[in-house]
């Protein structure tokens, strides 16, 4: 029997949990009319919270309704890739090869596909014209564009996409756009001129799964793999994972590997350190990359003060970093914007990522040796 857990970024889980509101609203929107506000989505949240696999679920929902899915990523030259390869490939899939006559398909529409064959006749294709060509081949269905890692997108590319998309919406065409990225980067991009239209998209910030959802995933994934959880085992795993989707998969994976048949609380406690260390290298370290020293100092102060509590008072943190209150407020605001801390109640701060306090405390020891 193979380990059924998938602690891999971008890998869809064997058993899906939660996020029902987004999935249901999106399904309804796809089924609805052009211009439905929920056809334009921005999903943001921390690393490992489940943005990429959620985009994949949205793609599946659209595909089930017969929609065409165009997948893009902010890490590459997305407009060029869409215009020059992704969309032409879809058009070729849908349109019959030239020469064969099929009723119901406009041959003029195909002309622009092979612009290289008729130089000087067709204008240079744009994202908008390409999408119109593709939409022209569909009836009763539309086109969903998904953009992952949108925090890394080039601002010009993103505003280009925004303009083309808005153009199609204005003509009541069946299009949908779902974007996902890290909270901080998404905020930064949406503040730029040129992306105004995207600011009107429905925004969903992903938080942790509920304990019930985490439990359901753990139980359902392990079941049928030959190594089910016992009651205390699943309780311990839910507790350790703290609803954080990547940890749910990781804890499940490690506990499954270390168990000898049924996954017990003992199996889970044995893998705790491994899980927290892996979380450190896969999530904490990359999340702290590029965070300026003043903000790191603030985070370290929170880590020192928080102990085993849920949160700590921001005035205590301000005092610990030796800053005047308004300076500390500024740093705190930036960290809130990065999604690294939260304010669970007035005047309190807590970490968003589980085990970040442990990471910062152990990391400090390492730093001091240097």
Ligand X SMILES: Nc1ncnc2c1ncn2[C@@H]1O[C@H](COP(=O)(O)OP(=O)(O)O)[C@@H](O)[C@H]1O
Question: 19-58: which residues touch ligand X (CB under 6 A)?
Answer: 19, 45, 47-53
Q: Report the nearest approach of ligand X to the CB of residue 333 (Å).
A: 23
Which of residues 20 and 170 has its CB atom nearest to ligand X in the complex? 20
d(CA 110, CA 93): 12
Phi, psi of 286 (to 5 degrees): -65, -30
217 interacts with Mg ion by CB under 5 A: no
Say if residue 107 is exposed, middle or buried (CB neighbours under 10 Å; 0-12, 13-18, 19+): exposed
Size of the site for ligand X (CB under 6 A): 25
Question: 203-222: which residues touch ligand X (CB under 6 A)?
Answer: 217
9 interacts with ligand X by CB under 6 A: yes
Q: Which does 48 bind (CB under 5 to 8 A by kind): Mg ion, ligand X, none?
A: ligand X
Closest CB to ligand X: residue number: 50
d(CA 261, CA 228): 7
Say if residue 123 is exposed, middle or buried (CB neighbours under 10 Å; 0-12, 13-18, 19+): exposed
The whole-angstrom distance between residue 325's C-alpha and the CA centroid of its chain comes to 34
Say if residue 83 is exposed, middle or buried (CB neighbours under 10 Å; 0-12, 13-18, 19+): buried
Q: Which does 7 bind (CB under 5 to 8 A by kind): ligand X, Mg ion, none?
A: ligand X
Pick the piece of the chain touching Mg ion (CB under 5 A) from 49-57, 89-97, 240-248, 320-328. Answer: 49-57
Pick the piece of the chain touching Mg ion (CB under 5 A) from 52-60, 119-127, 317-325, 356-364. Answer: 52-60
Q: Report the nearest approach of Mg ion to the CB of residue 252 (Å).
A: 19
Q: Report the nearest approach of ligand X to the CB of residue 2 (Å).
A: 15
**Within 13 A of 127's CA, how many CA atoms are on the CB side?**
23
Q: Which of 249, 282, 311, 352 binds ligand X (CB under 6 A)?
A: 249
Say if residue 116 is exposed, middle or buried (CB neighbours under 10 Å; 0-12, 13-18, 19+): exposed
Q: Report the nearest approach of Mg ion to the CB of residue 75 (Å).
A: 11
Q: Report the nearest approach of ligand X to the CB of residue 184 (Å).
A: 13
Q: Report the nearest approach of ligand X to the CB of residue 51 (Å).
A: 3
Which of residues 6 and 90 has its CB atom nearest to Mg ion in the complex? 6
Q: Report the nearest approach of ligand X to the CB of residue 181 (Å).
A: 9
d(CA 21, CA 331): 33
d(CA 75, CA 77): 7
Cβ pair 247, 275 in contact under 8 A: yes
52 interacts with Mg ion by CB under 5 A: yes
Residues in touch with ligand X (CB under 6 A)? 6-13, 16-19, 45, 47-53, 217, 245-246, 248-249
């Amino acid at each position: 029997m193979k380990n059924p857990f998938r602690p891999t970024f971008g890998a869809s889980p064997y058993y899906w949990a939660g996020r029902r509101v987004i999935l249901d609203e999106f399904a309804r929107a796809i089924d609805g009319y052009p211009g439905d506000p929920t056809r334009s989505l921005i999903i943001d949240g921390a690393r490992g919270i489940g943005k990429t696999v959620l985009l994949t679920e949205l793609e599946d929902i659209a595909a089930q309704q017969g929609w065409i899915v165009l997948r893009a990523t902010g890490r590459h030259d997305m407009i060029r890739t869409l215009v020059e390869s992704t969309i032409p490939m879809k058009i070729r899939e849908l349109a019959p090869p030239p020469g064969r006559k099929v009723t119901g398909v406009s041959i003029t529409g195909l002309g622009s596909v092979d612009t290289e064959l008729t130089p000087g006749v067709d204008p240079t294709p744009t994202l908008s014209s390409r999408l119109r060509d593709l939409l022209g081949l569909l009836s009763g269905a539309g086109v969903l564009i998904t953009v992952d890692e949108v925090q890394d997108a080039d601002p010009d590319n993103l505003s280009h996409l925004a303009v083309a998309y808005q153009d199609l919406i204005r003509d009541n065409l069946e299009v949908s756009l779902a974007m996902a990225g890290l909270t901080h980067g998404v905020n930064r991009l949406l503040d730029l001129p040129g992306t105004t239209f995207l600011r009107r998209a429905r925004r969903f910030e992903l938080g942790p799964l509920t304990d019930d959802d985490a439990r359901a995933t753990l139980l359902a994934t392990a079941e049928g793999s030959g190594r089910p959880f016992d009651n205390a085992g699943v309780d311990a795993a839910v507790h350790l994972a703290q609803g954080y989707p990547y940890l749910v998969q990781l804890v499940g994976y490690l506990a499954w590997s270390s168990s000898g048949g049924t996954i017990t609380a003992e199996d889970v406690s044995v893998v705790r350190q491994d899980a927290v260390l892996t979380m450190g290298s896969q999530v904490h370290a990359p999340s702290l990359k590029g965070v300026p020293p003043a903000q790191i100092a603030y985070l370290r102060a929170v880590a020192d003060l928080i102990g085993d509590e849920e949160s700590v008072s921001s005035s205590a943190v301000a005092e610990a970093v030796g800053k005047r209150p308004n300076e500390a407020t500024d740093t705190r605001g930036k960290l809130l914007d990065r999604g690294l801390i939260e304010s669970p109640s007035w005047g309190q701060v807590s970490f968003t990522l589980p085990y970040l306090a442990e990471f910062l405390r152990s990391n400090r020891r390492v730093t001091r040796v240097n």
